[in-house]
Structure 1
Amino acid sequence: MHPFTRVRGFAVQLDGHPGGGTVYRGGEVLSGQVVLDVAKRVKVRALAVCARGLATAHWLEGKSVGMNTIYSDYTAFQTYLRRKTHLIPDNGDVTVLQAGRHEFPFTFQLPESLATSFEGKHGSVRYWVKAKLHRPWSSVKKAKKDFTIIEPIDINTPALLAPQAGAKEKLARAWYCNRGLVSVSAKIDRKGYTPGEVIPIFAEIDNCTTRTVVPKAAIIQTQTFVARGTKKQKKSVVASMVGDAIAAGKREVWHGRALKIPPVGPSILQCRVIHVEYALKVCIEIPGTSKLFLELPLVIGTIPLHPFGSRTSSVSSQYSVSLDWVRMGIPEEPEAPPEYSSVVSSEGPLETLSPPAQDNGPPGILEGPFFAYIQEFRFRPPPLYSEVDPNPQSDAAIRPRCMTC
């Protein structure tokens, strides 16, 4: 410290949240104090503190004009939080603080609706508290403290408890010759899941070609950034599995093949400039032709499935904040997921990437929400055993099989 420096320390501290750390959600109270440590008597003109929350999308797109490249700037913002208070008012007077440590408490009421904190390639959702100290004949001294917002997504709702199913088929062609038909139908028991859960996949793959095909399944994360009416997307594989090879003219049935959801952040669906969405993609690799894939939508929530009572009952009142899950490590060394291009069809709707914008985010932060901040998953009780199918299929609903199966 310089011998003539009067201010030895200036920082923003947030009070401990009931769940631990600096993780909050909409509607809660954000409180803390500005700590000022002075070595000698100091005059203060004003001390202000503000709380901010901002969603930002930004990227550049290049266009060749002759020998030059012209870049277009795409930027969009959405403000979620903007609060300010004066701990020492700026009324023209000067406040004298004696040597020692001084604490100035503050409190902000967070809005009910906030977006989950997020760090992505072309945008972010960030929240912070900043304090400014104004002194006569001195530069403004600043201090900043970041905090995290995790908005609860309750999967115990009818929309997220609804089963998801679909079917696709593809005629395999090679050198203008038909090699046969490949079809896949898949189903999962619901749309909403939380990290740590296992998704049981029920699927049926018919290989009526003359070649061996390989089925795969993956969870795909799609980050969508919106600015000036234009969208920029980034897709990545967060978990995957490979099924057994299916010989020519054979059929494969998955009776609940398990795909575990890794520690990923929740879906972001209500922000105007940034969306984070998930999907389960079943892919069939067909030699000599493009891949066949079937996509089922997923929503990654924060409030796990309630183990008791009605499946459609909400457990929002029982939701508690805990950082134990954030600090939880994966027990075994996870296998790195494959590249997105190796799982989906090369004909998928991928936009042409432009020169990336400069990354202004803090170093060391991975792409995605700051924390996959979820309660520990509780497994549902098994269904009652019955030898009678509660949902029998009609003859008209049974899909005809190929002759070679």
Structure 2
Amino acid sequence: MVFQVAAEMAPFLFEHFGNPSSGHTYGKMVHFTSCGTESDNWAIYGAVMAARRAQLPQSQSQSQSPQRAPPPALLLPHVVTTAIEHPAVLGHLKHLQEQGLLSYTAVPVDSEGLVDPEQIAAAVQPNTALVTVMHSNNEVGAVQPIAEIAAAARRAHARFTSSTSSSSSSGGCTGTNGLLVHSDAAQSTGKVELDVRTLGVDALTIVGHKFGAPKGVAALYIRRGVHLDNYFHGGGQEGGRRAGTENIMQVVGLGAAAELARREGPRLRRHLGDMAERLMEALRAGLRPEDQDKLRLNGPRQPASRLPNTLSLSIRGLNSAVALQRLSGQLAASAGAACHSGEAASVSAVLRAMRVPFEFAAGTLRLSTGRHTTAEEVDAAAKLIVQEARRQGVLG
């Protein structure tokens, strides 16, 4: 796949040198971002600032700096999210709350990492401007019921709106019923089917390297008719939405990877799921009967409710940090999400939110299968993990 993507990118390295946002022939492209963090940050900031601006008289909304906290007379925009979101969401919400720009509610999840749509709905307030819930979790693979969440949140918000304000779509600054719904689908793209119309979202984060594109390119889908305040300011690139010269080579790579993912989708998903299931079975087969209860799968028990490639496994009593250090060079794994690797020695916030017992959480390994993963590699990985657990004395 790498060579196929590179072949698509090559002409834009050596032949097409035009500025993609210029007015001439080479200036046609769609809107993209640099990474999932930017897309998530933009969705939150853009929705909140649009909601804030909508409260101001027209003259004030055009002149007041969006960086300044709203005056006390304004109703502070509110955001509903979950306790297991990526730091790009939770970290940005915390930052904007500290700046006095919003308030937010983090809804808890159950022991499998799933959120109840009705709990999301119950957290919606009259001033809720945005609901942001990840499509699938980057640690345990839990796939959230986004369509049900979007519908429940909008029904709840409609109770607070007049018939006039709830009868139209975006109103120029927010989504249906005055509420935007965003989902971070970074982990899901290419691994499960995604359709923004079926999901009912106003914005969706897509990250290139999660499905075969080069690192450093992503996208933010924004539903037609929805306005998000700009996160980058400057020139008029990308239809005036995002200032700055586009990284067109990376964008082409993302497009090529997306086309391959579309063509190979069903076959790839079967392979990912088969390899993950084989890994789980191989680990169980390596354990003695009296040790079976020491192996725990974190996340949904039903395969349909989790990503096909992601396994968060805990062995009771295992020191995962020591295990990863000893197996480095033989096994590509982590104690949590790769972007949280600096916290490998501590229990992740996701596992804490799922109330995983400490004796299991501290012995967690996050394992993923890929398009090139073989049965032989899966069996070898299971053997290495069991051997290390025995070396640490936690398995008989």
**TM-score between both structures, scaled by the size of structure 2:** 0.24
The structure richer in strand per residue is: 1
Q: Normalized against structure 1, the TM-score is what?
A: 0.24
